[in-house]
Structure 1
Amino acid sequence: METIRILMVDDHPIVREGYLRLLERQPELSVVAEASSGEAALAAFATHTPDIVLMDLSMPGAGGLAAVEAILARDPHARIIVVSMHQGAIFAQKAMAAGARGFVSKSSPPEELVSAIAKVMSGRKALSTDMAQEVAQTSLGRDDIAALTRRELEILQLLARGMSGRTIAKNLGLSAKTIQNNLSQVRAKLDATGDADLVLKAQRAGLTPSGQ
């Protein structure tokens, strides 16, 4: 059996070590490189041309989604599986929309990651069981949250966490008018009647810790 070469991208050394030990127990898998940022991931991908990239989302710098897009811009056939602590369906949908072929939450059993690698190598897409359930239960298809830009999604998340428009503006270093313009766009895209409706949709999509 030919060895599957893996690039592992995560900014936490302990997490990388844990996955390294898991993957080393699989005779057909070999971690050929590690990276702790999106920029380092792109450089490592160019150097090692791995069969699979395991990509975290929350990292310093541009972050995982930007790294997914950058790697695919270099090689449209790259096989990327996002492995993230984020469990809301929107994160899985955003990752897949960016071109990732799989999404596994870090709370999944170890065998889910091994299974996802096998599925992606065989040309299929892969979601860990918990993420598949999240996607099935959410109203993302109707609400079209996945159509939001990164900035709009960020503003919606902050609104759903209880921040006012003025506080969001201060937090992001933008003007209050810019925030209101973005919120107007979000309301239009999600067909929301107001901010309270936006918060409800965000919670249903899993954008907040208490979201269902």
Structure 2
Amino acid sequence: MKTDKIKVLLVDDHMVVRAGFRMLLSCQDFIGEIVDIDRGELATKAYQNFNPDVVVMDLSMPGIGGLETIRRLCKCYPHVLILVYSIHDERIYVERALDAGAIGYVTKNSAAEVLAKAVGVIASGKKYIEKGLLPESPEIRLKHPTKNKHKLNVLSPREFDVFRLLSKGLNAHNVANELSLSYKTICNYNTQIKNKLNASTSAELANIAMVHNII
């Protein structure tokens, strides 16, 4: 049984969230040192230097974003234990996070004790999905990842981030600023996304997003 206190790496671009997370977990006697960073680009190096027991990851961040960060961490460190802590409670976000390599998911609207419990469960190597986020048993869902033909499964993690913002009505310049990418890069992603989803207009992208409860 694990006796050492749990070391946590928190990846979230909002300073207030990170401060609140520290305050919450500092009250837990099973939590030890907490290191926080504000961008996914720093996660691999931070993991190497800090060697945390659990990584708590936001999804909606500038730069490479949470999904791509999860994928990179899992590629570099196959035994990494990642808990997603996100505002998104739609099933597609949960599924994409799990498919990227996370083994837990809780929402930022959950009670404080839920997050603390989730960190403890994840640290023990077990899976934890906040109740109600998936219709089926979390254990079944995680042992048998979805292989359905969900239309948005064709999008890469970064394409999904761009799609989510475009479907909300942001233009290419706004999306570029939000994700810290160039305008040209966003335009290229926009073309790729429309080709993959067989959409020709922004209105069609918005419609697809509404059908899948993205907006």
Q: TM-score range by the shorter chain?
A: 0.7 to 0.9
Preserved contact between residue 53 and residue 79 of structure 1 (Cα < 8 Å): yes
Q: In the aligned structure 2, how far is the partner of 1:101 from the partner of 1:196? A: 34
1:97-136 matches, cutoff 5 A: 97-132=99-134
Amino acid at match of 1:149: S
Q: In the aligned structure 1, how far is the partner of 2:137 from the partner of 2:213? A: 10
Preserved contact between residue 163 and residue 193 of structure 2 (Cα < 8 Å): no
**% identity of equivalent residues:** 31
For structure 1, list consecutive stretches of 5 or more residues without a partner in the other structure. Answer: none
TM-score where L is the length of structure 1: 0.74
1:1-212 matches, cutoff 5 A: 1-132=3-134, 141=148, 143-150=150-157, 152-154=159-161, 156-157=163-164, 160-161=167-168, 173=184, 179=190, 182-187=193-198, 199-208=206-215
Q: In the aligned structure 1, how far is the partner of 2:154 from the partner of 2:35? A: 33
Amino acid at match of 1:132: L
Q: In the aligned structure 1, how far is the partner of 2:187 from the partner of 2:19? A: 43
Change (3 A) 1:69 1:182: closer
TM-score where L is the length of structure 2: 0.73
Pairwise CA distance, 1:45: 0.8
Preserved contact between residue 113 and residue 128 of structure 1 (Cα < 8 Å): no
Q: In the aligned structure 2, how far is the partner of 1:158 from the partner of 1:24? A: 34
Change (3 A) 1:160 1:28: same
Q: In the aligned structure 2, how far is the partner of 1:90 from the partner of 1:9? A: 21
Change (3 A) 1:30 1:205: farther
Pairwise CA distance, 1:49: 0.4
For structure 2, list consecutive stretches of 5 or more residues without a partner in the other structure. Answer: 139-146, 176-182
What is the RMSD computed on CA atoms of the aligned residues?
3.4
Change (3 A) 1:60 1:26: same
Preserved contact between residue 7 and residue 54 of structure 1 (Cα < 8 Å): yes
Preserved contact between residue 155 and residue 168 of structure 1 (Cα < 8 Å): no
Preserved contact between residue 90 and residue 146 of structure 1 (Cα < 8 Å): no
- Provide the secondary structure at the position in 2 that maps to 1:8: strand
Preserved contact between residue 68 and residue 100 of structure 1 (Cα < 8 Å): yes
Q: In the aligned structure 1, how far is the partner of 2:153 from the partner of 2:24? A: 32
Pairwise CA distance, 1:195: 8.6
Query: Per-residue CA shift, 1:146-186, capped at 9, x if unaligned?
Result: 332245535643564368xxx66996547989856642422
- Provide the secondary structure at the position in 2 that maps to 1:83: strand
Change (3 A) 1:168 1:134: farther
Q: How many residues align?
A: 197
Preserved contact between residue 162 and residue 186 of structure 2 (Cα < 8 Å): no
